[in-house]
Chain A
Amino acid sequence: MATMSRPITTLRLERGGADDAPVSARVRIEALSASFSGKPAVKNVSMDVLDHRVTAIIGPSGCGKSTFLRCLNRMHETVSGATATGRVLLDGHDIFDPRVNPTAIRKHVGMVFQKPTPFPTMSIRENVAAGLKVHRPSPTGRELEAIVERALRRSALWDEVKDRLGAPATGLSGGQQQRLCIARALATDPEVLLLDEPTASLDPISTQSVEELVYELRKDVAVVMVTHNMQQAARVSDVTAFFLHGEMVECAPTAKMFTAPQDARTEAYITGRFG
């Protein structure tokens, strides 16, 4: 795998090594609030997203966790009536700065949605390359092929599709489609990858393959994953944040969160008393 230029740090991670070494914050969120047509969805959230870590956002339906995620690449504002205040610092740069172009942010902060969203008229290759087309200058020929292959390898899909890159993306299974969407997001080499309940529409086996992939991805990127599956958060994340009614109740290393939660509401949620 090609080495990538990382301005902050390049840690070598072993499994379970979440607490071993200090890591820097790739994204710093300061007093972030978001609302839809005046109705608040996220209230005054501050937290750090660490580089080379998987941060899981858990919480009951409607707690604002997806809205929170969608603020991190300014997708939130694409919905009419949606507003956000506070600061989100990506490597120290405020992405809400009026001079910042949201499309530029989204090239550094990739996103994968709940349902696989391959472009149905495009082949597998074209899907992976879709995000590259909007980059200037966009790569072509061999360079493009190399990027497509690397992205598919990183999303653990290469071996399954290498012989049919020209085939329609819709011919893939649901789990393969989701990994294709992850490859598509990785092709532009983002520093942060946002996953919005990436396994919610997948069967258990596909879910497992995506989870394994997410665990691998943190070698290269900071991952933020929204999930309402607590076991999933426990399995793949290094840090977990618990959201309730738009507020962040608690954010802690995952092992600590699931064994010794500080807040009574967190404990109630993870022990299954509500949500």
Chain B
Amino acid sequence: MTPSNAAAPLPDSGQGTPNTAIDGQDLQGGGWSDRAYDALLTAFALCVPLLLVLLIVALTMAAWPALKQFGFGFLTSSDWDPAAEHFGAAPAIYGTIVSSVIALVIATPLAIGVAIFVAEFAPRWLRQPIGFLIDLLAAIPSVVYGLWGIFVLVPALRETVMPFLRDTLHLGATPFFSGPAYGPSMLAAGVVLAIMILPYISSVSREVLLAVPRSQREAALALGATRWEAIVGAVLPFARSGIIGGIILGLGRALGETMAVTMVIGNRHEIAASLFAPGYTIASLIANEFAEASGDMHLSALMAVGFVLFVITLLVNFVARWLVWQTSGGTRKVG
């Protein structure tokens, strides 16, 4: 029944229960359990932000001595010398960002390619297995990636990939692919990270692509687009904010990844232009040194790099939200 005729008098059918007046008692009481439940859930909900605030406060307080002593130089100096109690985190910050960027550059096209294949081209029976196998990559423990990195990836890079890039492709002429091929390197860290974040980007992209309405594909096909043109022209633009979200999720994972990176990056406090050279990341720096940090300033410096990593990931998240908001401005209205 529509609201417009609800007001019309109903024909008297002569059946049904007689309409008695409502007892006022029925309308009162019984609210305390709802209120208690409400208070409990509010308390739970407040716990999480409170935890975050406490963590930030503790981190900042512990990092304060180092930040105060070294000031801006903490971010720009490459001199990390626990014996002399001088700390500059520039190589670790640089390494964190560069290794993550390498990982994104390698993983993003691969992950989106796989997602397009699974969502658009793969026969239905193949979709599940491929998706499952890729998701399985995310289930492999970090330390296993590290082991594989040391014993399989690093030798392969040293003996095959690095000479190929440097000599066969003549990329050695650029500073990025020059110098001796040690093996443990920024490149190795980037490649391991790429494999580790691939399932995140791929899963999110796949789900987003599968959620694009069929009508969008059909609209493009009906205009004479080929299947590929429909994907590039209609499906990917429709899904782009979700795909960006997936990429940022992967980036967040890459920035904080510790174990596998520590095992293959070479752990050297130096900024080198060449990706063949060993480097350091914030996470691996902390993992390597927290156990032997005897001096108060050393410990404070480690807390300070932790603080920097936190700020970097926070910034990435803000940028991500802004990007998703920017690109979904049009799509959201469609509903």
Rounded to whole Å, the gap between the CB of A107 and the closest CB of chain B is 4
Q: Restricting to A42-64, which residues have a CB under 8 Å from any CB of B?
A: none
**Contact (A75, B218) CB under 8 Å given A120-B330, A121-B331:** yes
Which B residues are in CB contact (< 8 Å) with A110? Answer: 222-223
Main secondary structure of the interface of B (DSSP, over half): helix
Question: Is B210 part of the binding interface, using a Cβ–Cβ cutoff of 8 Å?
Answer: no
Check A86 for interface membership: any CB of B closer than 8 A.
no
Is B233 a contact partner of A133 (Cβ separation < 8 A)? yes
A117 in contact with B224 (CB, 8 Å): no
A171 to B329, CA, bound (A): 11
Does the CB pair A119–B237 fall under 8 Å? yes
Chain B residues near A80: list those with CB within 8 A: 124
B230 to chain A, nearest CB (A): 9
Q: Which residue, A103, A121, A188, has most C-beta atoms of chain B within 10 A? A: A121
Q: Closest approach, in angstroms, between the C-beta of A180 and any C-beta of chain B?
A: 11
A103 touches B333 (CB 8 A): no
**A contact residues around B78 at 8 Å (CB):** none
B223 touches A184 (CB 8 A): yes
Residue of A nearest to B329 (CB): A168
CB neighbours (8 Å) of B240 from chain A are 121
Q: Which of B221, B222, B238, B327 is the one whose CB lies under 8 Å from A119?
A: B238
State A113–B213 Cα separation when bound (angstroms): 13
- Is the beta-carbon distance between A120 and B220 smaller than 8 angstroms? no
A249 within 8 A of B: no
CB distance from B95 to the nearest CB of A (A): 36
Which A residues are in CB contact (< 8 Å) with B229? 133-134
Q: Distance (Å) between the CB of B196 and the closest chain A CB?
A: 31
Q: Is B225 an interface residue (CB 8 A)?
A: yes
Given known contacts A119-B238, A120-B331, A121-B240, A130 and B222 CB-to-CB distance under 8 angstroms: no
**CB of B253, distance to nearest CB on chain A (Å):** 27
CB-CB nearest in chain A for B213: A117
A117 near B218 (CB under 8 angstroms)?
yes
Q: Judge whether A144 is part of the interface by a CB distance below 8 angstroms.
A: no
Given the contacts A119-B234, A121-B331, A133-B233, A113 and B219 also touching, CB distance less than 8 Å: yes
Q: How far is the CB of A22 from chain B (nearest CB, A)?
A: 31
B69 within 8 A of A: no
Q: 0/1 per residue, A159-198, Cβ < 8 Å to B? A: 0000000001111000000000100110010000000000
Check if B291 is an interface residue, CB within 8 A of chain A. Answer: no
B224 interface neighbour in A107, A120, A181, Cβ under 8 Å? A107
Contact with A along B299-335 (1 / 0, CB 8 A): 0000000000000000000000000000101110110
A188 in contact with B218 (CB, 8 Å): no
Q: List 16 A-B contacts (CB under 8 A).
A: A73-B222, A75-B218, A75-B221, A75-B222, A78-B218, A104-B224, A113-B219, A119-B220, A119-B234, A120-B334, A121-B238, A122-B237, A131-B223, A133-B233, A134-B225, A168-B330
Residues of A within 8 A of B (CB): 73, 75, 78, 80, 103-104, 106-107, 110-111, 113, 115, 117, 119-122, 130-131, 133-135, 168-171, 181, 184-185, 188
Q: Which residues of B contact A (CB under 8 A)?
A: 124, 215-216, 218-226, 229, 233-234, 237-238, 240, 327, 329-331, 333-334
7 further A-B pairs in the complex, CB-CB below 8 A; given A119-B238, A133-B229, A170-B334 = A103-B225, A117-B216, A117-B219, A120-B237, A134-B226, A134-B233, A135-B224
